[in-house]
Structure 1
Amino acid sequence: MNQPLITAGELEDALAGTRPPRLLDCRARLGDLDAGHGLWWQAHLPNSRHLDLDRDLAGPPGAGGRHPLPDRQRFTEVLQRLGVTPEVPVVIYDDMGGQLAAARAWWMLACWAGHPEVQVLDGGIQAWLAHGGELHEGDDVASSPSGWCPDYRDDTWTTADALQSSGVLRVDARSRERFRGDVEPIDPVAGHIPGAVCRPSADNLEEGGRFKSPGRLAEELPQADEVVAYCGSGVTACHNILAYAIAGKPLPRLYPGSWSEWVQDPTRPVATGG
């Protein structure tokens, strides 16, 4: 796997080079299905395309949680519509340090679909602006569809049943308050999966929204022979997986349904505190 992060300066050089990357804008707002596209339409990196969290990076909410993985064929059609091919590098960005939802897109493209050159813009759109990069408005991009049919790797994620019967380390990317069960603003049950440890995705970032150094991440991230990452609905969990990649550590598997799926079965155990 290639270096998972790219700086604004490196992106500027890449866009002017012989193999300019496909830019994907993954900005989103939980609870507002149209916010991401609206943000992209108002102002986006030149030649970027909008990749929608709810419509493109997830299937319909339901028994599989709030952001289950989409059907393979459906996601393949998304990638083809955006002109994504393995021969062209991809750079993904958002405005939340990768947490909504650039890291999810990175995981789906690089880990699940197996694209060989996917990077996240470190610091997101804010870093691009701080570097002096320009923004465009409106739909100014014309791209030819691709014919790429990814060879999906289903060993990169796991299910609730498999997780319940295994002894892997479960790493929860939600806030410590939600992990302990002090508050639960979204899902009907508060707490966490028994045996889990809390690593809030925000802890992967410096104060300015860029990722911590590989060495620091390697020291801080929970370690075990096998790790599974989860969160509320399988989005910010990908931020922790990306942090492991930056640190040069073996990647955890993703539990896509995460807490929003786990608590739908009252027979599954729930823990609080910690």
Structure 2
Amino acid sequence: MSIHRYTTLISAANLAALIASGSETMTLFDCRFDLTDENAGKLAYQAHHLPGAHYVHLANVLSGPCTGQNGRHPLPERATLAQQLAACGLHHNHQVIAYDAQGGIFAARLWWLLRWLGHEAVAVLDGGLQAWQKANLPLSSTRPIARSGDFEPTAPLAVTTDVTTVMRNLSTHKYTLIDARSADRYRGQNETLDAVGGHIPGAINRFYRDNLTADGHFKPAHVLRDEFNSLLDEKPAQRVILQCGSGVSACLNALAMEIAGLHGAALYAGSWSEWCADPKRPVATG
């Protein structure tokens, strides 16, 4: 009997059924995090989490070392990340489910990273922890026993780009840049995370929360497709570069585009925090 593989989203009901089935080919990750308090997500996990979930920390696992010039959350080394996930029991044939309680941005980061490692069977819990709790589904404070898995990186399913390409695009206009930050930060107002306010010249704004309904679930695929197509002006997804402040919330736009059937957009992982670290790079505001 074939087993359904989730590659974008999974509902709370379907995840509950998967957990109840006692599936030995699933790994569940709690990705909760707070950009202003790096211990908050881990403490929340220790208090309660979905049964069987392992915790992964944005800064320590889902990001690499910062140099001051490569952004606030640079990509980790592929081999290092794969080893850390395998240490949680991840095998190459596992269905991975990621969730958070912050609108999906940190779960989407893990979703994108696993695709970057070549793993397709990874999905985000639609509606996050809030959807799970609203359905009155059980939580646990027990940490799962870690058993080593055999997961290793393979050919990437996700595309990256770098600051050189983005800089070159200022004159070639080959790519459409989509900035996932809030509108005020995009304009250069109320900047609290980076030393410089503003955006990369030519970038257009698509706040990551615009992909969600009022209750925190993703909008239907056809709605997302229409909304992104209106931004792209018939440009194919392969000519899109997604960015944000540090390469995290842009992953939610990547997930939304995948749900919409718009495949192939690249992530500029360094994003605004890398771009603005060099005062020679131009800045736009307003």
TM over 0.5: yes
Greater mean deviation of Cα atoms: 79-88 or 115-124: 79-88
1:163-212 C-alpha deviation (Å, 9 max, x unpaired): 11132000000011111112211111111111110000011111111111
Partner in structure 2 of residue 236 of structure 1: 249
Q: Aligned partners of 1:3 and 1:81: how far apart in 2?
A: 22
Q: RMSD of the TM alignment (CA)?
A: 1.6
Q: Residue type matched to 2:47 in 1?
A: Q
**1:150 equivalenced with 2:153 (yes/no):** yes
2:264 aligned to which of 234, 251, 256: 251
Greater mean deviation of Cα atoms: 8-17 or 86-95: 8-17
Partner in structure 2 of residue 212 of structure 1: 219
Partner in structure 1 of residue 125 of structure 2: 121
- Secondary structure of 2:161's match? coil
User: What are the residue-to-residue correspondences of 1:162-241 with 2, within 5 Å?
Assistant: 162-166=165-169, 167-221=174-228, 222-223=231-232, 224-225=235-236, 226-241=239-254
Q: Aligned partners of 1:244 and 1:57: how far apart in 2?
A: 21
Q: Percent of pairs identical after alignment?
A: 41
Q: Aligned partners of 1:187 and 1:248: how far apart in 2?
A: 33
Q: Residue type matched to 1:146 in 2?
A: G
**1:132 equivalenced with 2:133 (yes/no):** no
2:274 aligned to which of 248, 257, 261: 261
**1:70 equivalenced with 2:76 (yes/no):** yes
CA contact (8 A) 1:46 1:135 kept: yes
Partner in structure 1 of residue 38 of structure 2: 33
| Alpha-carbon distance, 1:152 to partner | 4.8
1:6 aligned to which of 7, 10, 31: 10
| Alpha-carbon distance, 1:243 to partner | 0.4
- Secondary structure of 2:198's match? coil
1:217-244 C-alpha deviation (Å, 9 max, x unpaired): 1111232230010000000000000000
Q: Aligned partners of 1:17 and 1:78: how far apart in 2?
A: 26
| Alpha-carbon distance, 1:59 to partner | 1.0
Q: Aligned partners of 1:154 and 1:135: how far apart in 2?
A: 32
| Alpha-carbon distance, 1:2 to partner | 4.8
Greater mean deviation of Cα atoms: 184-193 or 195-204: 184-193
**1:106 equivalenced with 2:117 (yes/no):** no
2:65 aligned to which of 57, 60, 66: 60
CA contact (8 A) 2:96 2:121 kept: yes
Q: Aligned partners of 2:155 and 2:60: how far apart in 1?
A: 19
1:12-53 C-alpha deviation (Å, 9 max, x unpaired): 111233635211000000022211111111000001000111
CA contact (8 A) 2:69 2:278 kept: no
CA contact (8 A) 1:19 1:89 kept: no
Q: Residue type matched to 2:122 in 1?
A: V
Q: Residue type matched to 2:146 in 1?
A: S
Q: Aligned partners of 1:2 and 1:33: how far apart in 2?
A: 29
| Alpha-carbon distance, 1:272 to partner | 1.1
Q: Aligned partners of 1:19 and 1:11: how far apart in 2?
A: 11
Q: Aligned partners of 2:192 and 2:155: how far apart in 1?
A: 33
Q: Aligned partners of 2:120 and 2:198: how far apart in 1?
A: 37
Structure 1 residue runs without a partner (length 5+)? none
Q: Structure 2-normalised TM-score?
A: 0.90
| Alpha-carbon distance, 1:154 to partner | 8.6
**1:97 equivalenced with 2:92 (yes/no):** no
CA contact (8 A) 2:92 2:152 kept: no
**Count of residue correspondences:** 270
User: What are the residue-to-residue correspondences of 1:14-53 with 2, within 5 Å?
Assistant: 14-17=18-21, 19=23, 21-53=26-58
